Structures are given as structure tokens and as C-alpha cells.
Amino acid sequence: MVAVLSSSLPERVGRLSGCDVTAGAPLAPLTSVRVGGPAEALVRPRSPEALVALLRLVREEGVPLTVLGGGANTLVGDGGIPGVTVKLPGDLFPELADVGAEEGRLTLGAGSAIVRLCNVMRAHGLVGAEFLAGIPGTLGGAVTMNAGTKNGECFRVVEAVEVATADGLGWLSRADIPHGYRHTELPRGGVVTRVRFLLRKGDLEASKKVMDEDLAYRKRSQPLSQPNFGSVFANPPGDFAGRLIESVNLKGHIIGRAQVSLLHANWIVNLGGATAHDVSSLLTLMQERVKQERGVVLQPEVKRVGVFLP
């Protein structure tokens, strides 16, 4: 049962014009691992102005705020999420393209799927973001965690990010946003609304070949057919989280209905019917075992949100 702060919260939020509000909305279907309880109030703003108004209400009333992107790196507790959970629609903003002879700028909404960037990039004869092609989730989530692979990270192609706060909307240049490996420092209480990417003209066939080869590799080496997060831990300097987890004999380990993938030890899969408690317990075990036996503290890429029940 979700922990409820106030039975009137969904009604109060619902009075804001331009916001669709669902009380007690199931969140498991909105996450890639398919576990977790409901949201006290799931809110989908229909305009940037409605989002700003929502953030103002949240600040004035001291209501907890959670932003749910594509749910690819989010573990929702079995007790659900108290307060307001925001999910931006993928079509909240129009897509913009400014393409010249040698480079192009593409502006997409934060609620758009990451793969959408790759499709729009190709449609305008641009290259440079191939490494993002197989990453699940939304562009807002990619910016928030500086998502990437061994071939590159999100901020390599980001030029600017628009952020909504209780005080309004504003653009921040790449240079004004501290970022690093799987980490971005955004304004407190802010929500990414749009992202502008700077790409270049290039060989589209070579670009497609790189993306196809990357996707083929992922299908061979990652459990894409099962509910999962993607990588659950960041790679420590000079090593790989998957190698460390496998070295302490946890590959294939099961707790409840959650399993360390047999294909890739840095992935957790839902075997069907897993709970957030199962997944969280497995994450903790992986972290503790690697620390005890290898002396390495693995840093989670997965974000725990909401109420976790014993």
C-alpha cells in the first residue's frame, strides 16, 4: 500500500490547469524492470507552463517530487511513491532542426525516447550519436545520468539543456552543467524539459553500420528479452562491474524472482513476479560481496525511489 501524505493531494494537483493526474497509478508497467508500487499522484503536464505551476505547488506545499523518465534505471519501492510523480509526455514539445552544410542542431523534448534522437539524426543526414542507439529510456533520463557506453557519453553531443523550476524555464549551456561519468549536477528541484544536440554531417551508411553492429552485440551479450534495468552498477576505474560480480560467484544468483543475469553479471532480470524487495536485496548482496571479497565499492546506476517494505 502506498504511503499517503494527504488524501487530497491528487485533487489539489488536479486543480492545476494543463495537468492530467491519476491517483494510485500503477508504476511497475512504467519501469523497464516491471516492479514497484503505485504513485500517490502521477502527473502528466500538458504544457511547459503547467509543469512550472506544478513545481511551484510542490515547493510551496513541501510535497515530495519524483521525476520518472523512461523508468530504465529506476527501482520503485513496493510501497509506492508518496507525493507527486511527474512523467513528461514524449510530445510535450515540437522537434526542432537547424541543419547547415557541416553540422546540425536538433532540439527534442526530454520525454522523447533516446532512440528518437538517432532516428531524427539520420533523417537530417547527421551523425555522432550512434553510441546512444541501444540505450533504453528517455532523453531527459540520459541527460540526468549522462548515459553512455564504452563508445561515448550523452554530454559528448549535448550543446544545451532546458530546465524547468518553480521560477520558470531556462536554458543552460553544456559548460554550465557539471557532469562526469554517469553523473550530472542539475539545479535542485529542476526538471529537464528539452535538450539541444550538436551533431555533424557525415557518412550515413557508416553510421548505420556502427549502430547495427552495436545492437547485434547487445542482443548477443545482454538479456534484452527479459525485464531489466540495463547495467546496474557503474564500472569502477580500470575494471568492469560485471567481471567483479562474476568473480564472486553471483552470476545467475536468485533472490525471490529476481536474478543476476546468466548473460551479463552486471544486469538484474525479473523472472516474472519479482518484487522491489527481491531486486533491492540482490543489489545489496552484489555490492556487499564485491566489497568484502574484492575491496571495491560498486556505485549503483539504478536509482531507488519510494517506500521500500521489509
Which amino acids are annotated catalytic? 182, 231, 301
Q: How far apart are the first and last CA of the chain?
A: 13
> Shortest CA distance to 232 belongs to which of 182, 180, 294?
182
Q: What three-state secondary structure class fits 127?
A: strand
Residue 60 and residue 84 in contact, taking contact as beta carbons nearer than 8 Å? no
Half-sphere exposure of 21 (CA within 13 A, CB side): 20
Nine cell digits for residue 105: 542542431
CA gap 266, 284 in Å, rounded:
13
Q: What burial class does residue 37 get, using C-beta atoms within 10 Å of its C-beta: 0-12 exposed, 13-18 middle, 19+ buried? A: buried
Distance between CA atoms of residues 87 and 106, nearest Å: 22
User: What stretches of the chain adopt beta strand conformation (E)?
Assistant: 19-26, 38-45, 65-67, 74-76, 81-86, 96-99, 103-109, 126-127, 148-149, 152-153, 158-165, 168-173, 179-180, 183-184, 191-201, 228-231, 254-255, 258-260, 267-270, 303-305
Residue 90, number of CB atoms within 10 A of its CB:
16
3-state secondary structure of 60: helix
Cβ neighbours of 89 (radius 10 Å)? 13
